[in-house]
């Protein structure tokens, strides 16, 4: 017997043992079959999908949107997002060969489908949330809200802020002035210099170079002025020529050129119930919009939402309360500097609703003044102490100053909303721990496991479409893990009569094209019948 040192592979000239039928390329319990069943259960025409690559006129017929949607779902579930990589995998990946029935769209067709169907990709994501409700996988009682930055398809250097543009414009103005002074000096020297002969070494080239440089600087100045005028007209503070909707976003020292993705995660199975993409780096104005979107998607009358301190905003808390949403948001700490100086902050003053007065730490009253004060978008009431009370107070040095001998507390006209919120936050440590568990899970999975930290497309609408694919595939993989393949397939098969209509159309089409071959017909419809039974 001969001992072989290494394992040996098969002979390259050995005939292939792959099954002759594409149907046999994947096992009956392969998850790729769930993608097939899911897309078959969708009414793509009602969702608004467009044919990619053709208008249906003369020439090659277009690819079915169902096939391209299957391709993208498989790709995003398996960390393949690039259109070129998807084309490559469609040629060599047996699961994709089965899923696509040996169709291999070009990468341009694949990319165009994602770009053109951003709105319908969002609709598919919403349709899947409705399926989650039907499956009972969403509790609809508690939702955690959070946001995360994702890089856009643009560099930080490509995004100019108003301050940077103004600074650069000032620098160019100085350079133009300096060049202008140099040109004047050259002109004066030329006048004083005696005329030189033809070969006298007269140097006119430098003056020509200076004139060209000045002309280039003036062109740059005109471009910067146009950019600043565009920003002023639009009311924006940043400008990007690469991706007009990407922004420089900053949080906790992290600066990203991209977008801020907001999600609402249901408490039952950590599934994304609602999501949105914004290009505002500040979360404080996003609470109500996300809570309302989650409430609408879940179809409930009341909802509890959990968010972190970055979402604390009086107006959004008021909107939430008025619309049946109980928000749990930690109060923003804004008294650190005063406490470090051993000063008494406004939080030490207690409001007496019955008497409509504030009481200071010494027990004295601050009474409301006539009129109202507008502070930004807030209308406030001023409560002022008596000078005689402050003069005799032992806490005077920590509370008032020589220039301002009385203490004033500003109260928002809807401060009662914040009072109720503060009372609700007493003992809410458990809710805040639950918020972290829920909200961080999807972002951790999408960014770390899948590696999706940036968008491949440009433009706000297209970015929203790509995020819908990410969120849909996150939910899809979790449902497959929770239910298992058989239960998930049985549910998709039960979504009749739409599936039955598709089945009837498929059978009719096959019979029309292949009249004398009943066996292949049965082979193609057998998987659907198996799960519809």
Tell me the DSSP string of 266-305.
ETTT--EEEEEEE--S-GGG-HHHHHHHHHHHHT-S-EEE
* pLDDT attached to residue 263: 96
Regarding predicted confidence, which is higher, 496 or 347?
A: 347
Q: Name which of 80, 78, 87, 76 is nearest 110 in CA terms.
A: 87
pTM, 2 dp: 0.80
pLDDT digits (tens, 9 = 90+) for 419-434: 999 999 998 999 999 9
Predicted pLDDT at 206: 54
Grouping H, G, I as helix, E, B as strand and the rest as coil, residue 306 is: strand
Residue 171: per-residue pLDDT: 78
Q: Using CA atoms, how far apart are residues 267 and 434, in angstroms rounded to an integer?
A: 8
Across the range 466-489, mean pLDDT stands at 95
Q: What is the tens place of the pLDDT at every residue in 270-308?
A: 999 999 999 998 999 999 999 999 999 999 999 999 999
The residue assigned the tokens 């995660």 is 265
Among residues 245, 221, 247, the alpha carbon closest in space to that of 166 is found at: 221
DSSP, residue by residue, 32-71: HHHHHHHHHTS-HHHHT---BS--SSSSSPPBPHHHHHHH
3-state SS assignment for residue 146? strand
Q: Are 274 and 302 in contact (CB under 8 A)?
A: no
What is the pLDDT averaged over residues 212-221?
78
For residue 347, the model assigns a pLDDT of 87
Taking CA atoms, 16 is separated from 12, 93, 167, 270, 305, in Å, by: 9, 16, 68, 45, 57
Counting every residue written for the chain, the total comes to 533
CA gap 238, 132 in Å, rounded: 39
Q: Closest by alpha carbon to 111, among 82, 135, 89?
A: 82
Q: What is the pLDDT of residue 533?
A: 44
Q: What is the CA radius of gyration of the chain?
A: 33
The H-assigned helical ranges of 81-143 are: 83-92, 94-100, 107-116, 118-135
* 36: its two tokens: 């097939």
Mean per-residue pLDDT over the chain, rounded: 84
Predicted pLDDT at 166: 78
CA-nearest of 258, 478, 65, 111 to 470 is 478
Mean pLDDT comparison of 62-66, 291-295, 497-501, highest-scoring range:
291-295
**Joined tokens for residue 127:** 């349709």
- Cβ atoms of 327 and 395 closer than 8 Å: no
Give the Cα-Cα-Cα angle 368, 385, 363 (nearest 5 degrees).
Answer: 105
CA-closest candidate to residue 303, choices 324, 317, 285: 324
Q: Is 147 helix (H, G, I), strand (E, B) or coil?
A: strand
Q: pLDDT value at position 192?
A: 65
Helical segments of 154-270, H only: 162-192, 205-234
Q: What is the pLDDT of residue 122?
A: 95
Across 485-494, average pLDDT: 91
Which of 133-147, 175-189, 382-396 has the weakest average pLDDT? 175-189
What is the model's pLDDT at position 479? 96
Residue 52: CB atoms within 10 Å: 22
Please give the pLDDT value at position 517: 46
Beta strands 142-151 and 303-306 are parallel
Distance between CA atoms of residues 96 and 71, nearest Å = 7
Q: Give the pLDDT band of residue 150 (cuts 50, 70, 90).
A: very high
pLDDT at residue number 270: 95
**What is the pLDDT at residue 491?**
93
In this prediction, residue 432 carries a pLDDT of: 93
| Pairing outcome for strands 325-328 and 303-306 | parallel
- How far apart CA 410 and CA 53 sit, in angstroms, is 61
* pLDDT value at 309 more than 90: yes
- Window from 163-177, 367-381, 426-440, 498-512 with minimum mean pLDDT: 498-512
Cβ 521 vs Cβ 510: under 8 Å? yes
E strand residue ranges, 346-484:
350-352, 357-359, 365-368, 373-375, 378-384, 408-412
- Residues 366 and 348: their CA atoms lie apart, in Å, by 13
Residue 3 or residue 67, greater confidence? 67
pLDDT in tens, 219-250: 878 877 777 777 777 777 788 888 989 999 98
Burial class (CB within 10 angstroms; exposed 0-12, middle 13-18, buried 19+) of 64: middle
- Please say if the pLDDT value at position 351 is more than 80: yes
- What's the rounded Cα separation, in Å, for the pair 352 and 415? 12
Helices (H), strands (E): how many in the chain? 20, 14
- Please report the pLDDT score of residue 191 as a whole number: 67
> To the nearest 10°, the Cα dihedral for 503, 509, 513, 518?
30
Question: Per-residue pLDDT averaged across 445-464, rounded?
Answer: 93
User: Is the separation of the CB atoms in 34 and 492 below 8 Å?
Assistant: yes
Compute the distance between CA of residue 301 and CA of residue 318 in angstroms, rounded to an integer: 17
Lowest mean pLDDT among 101-105, 195-199, 205-209: 195-199
pLDDT band of residue 52 (cuts 50, 70, 90) is very low
CA distance linking residue 239 with residue 259, whole number of Å:
14
User: pLDDT at residue 348 above 80?
Assistant: yes
């Amino acid at each position: 017997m001969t001992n072989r040192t290494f394992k040996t592979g098969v002979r390259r000239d050995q005939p292939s043992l792959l099954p002759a039928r594409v149907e046999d390329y994947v096992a009956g319990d392969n998850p790729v079959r769930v993608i097939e069943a899911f897309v078959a259960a969708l009414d793509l025409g009602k969702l608004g999908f467009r044919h990619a690559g053709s208008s249906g006129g003369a020439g090659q017929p277009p690819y079915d949107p169902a096939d391209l949607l299957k391709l993208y779902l498989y790709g995003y579930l398996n960390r393949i997002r690039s259109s070129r990589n998807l084309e490559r995998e469609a040629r060599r990946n047996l699961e994709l060969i089965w899923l696509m029935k040996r169709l291999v769209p070009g990468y341009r067709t694949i990319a165009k489908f994602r770009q053109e169907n951003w709105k319908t990709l969002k609709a598919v994501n919403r349709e899947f949330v409705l399926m989650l409700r039907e499956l009972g996988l969403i509790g609809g009682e508690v939702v955690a809200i959070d946001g995360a930055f994702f890089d856009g398809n643009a560099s930080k250097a490509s995004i100019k802020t108003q301050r940077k543009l103004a600074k650069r414009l000032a620098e160019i103005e100085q350079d133009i002035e300096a060049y202008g002074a140099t040109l004047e000096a050259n002109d004066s020297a030329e006048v004083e210099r005696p005329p030189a002969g033809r070969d006298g070494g007269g140097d006119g080239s430098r003056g020509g170079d200076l004139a060209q440089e000045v002309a280039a600087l003036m062109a740059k100045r005109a471009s910067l002025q146009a950019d600043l005028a565009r920003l002023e007209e639009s009311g924006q503070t940043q400008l990007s020529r690469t991706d007009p909707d990407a922004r420089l976003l900053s949080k906790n020292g992290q600066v990203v050129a991209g977008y801020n993705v907001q999600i609402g995660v249901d408490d039952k199975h950590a599934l994304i119930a609602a999501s949105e993409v914004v290009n505002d780096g500040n979360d404080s104005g996003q609470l109500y919009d996300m809570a309302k979107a989650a409430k609408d998607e879940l179809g409930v009358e009341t909802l509890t939402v959990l968010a972190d301190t970055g979402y604390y905003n009086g107006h959004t808390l008021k909107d939430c309360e008025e619309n049946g949403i109980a928000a749990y948001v930690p109060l923003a700490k804004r008294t650190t500097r005063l406490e470090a100086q051993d000063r008494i902050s406004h939080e030490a003053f207690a409001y007496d609703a019955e008497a409509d007065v504030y009481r200071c730490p010494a027990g004295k009253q601050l009474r409301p003044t006539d009129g109202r004060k507008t502070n930004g978008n807030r209308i406030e009431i001023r409560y002022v102490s008596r000078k005689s009370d402050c003069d005799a107070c032992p806490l005077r040095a920590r509370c008032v100053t020589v220039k301002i001998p009385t203490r004033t507390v500003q109260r928002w006209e809807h401060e009662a909303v914040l009072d109720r919120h503060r009372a609700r936050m007493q003992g809410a440590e458990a809710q805040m721990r639950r918020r972290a568990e829920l909200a961080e899970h999807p972002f951790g999975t999408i960014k770390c496991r899948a590696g999706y930290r940036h968008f491949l497309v440009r433009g706000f609408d297209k970015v929203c479409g790509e995020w819908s694919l990410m969120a849909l595939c996150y939910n899809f993989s979790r449902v497959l893990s929770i239910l298992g393949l058989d239960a998930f397939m049985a549910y998709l098969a039960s979504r009749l009569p739409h599936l039955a209509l598709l089945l009837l159309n498929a059978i009719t089409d096959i019979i029309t094209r292949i009249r004398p071959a009943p066996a292949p017909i049965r082979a193609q419809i057998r998987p659907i019948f198996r799960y519809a039974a």
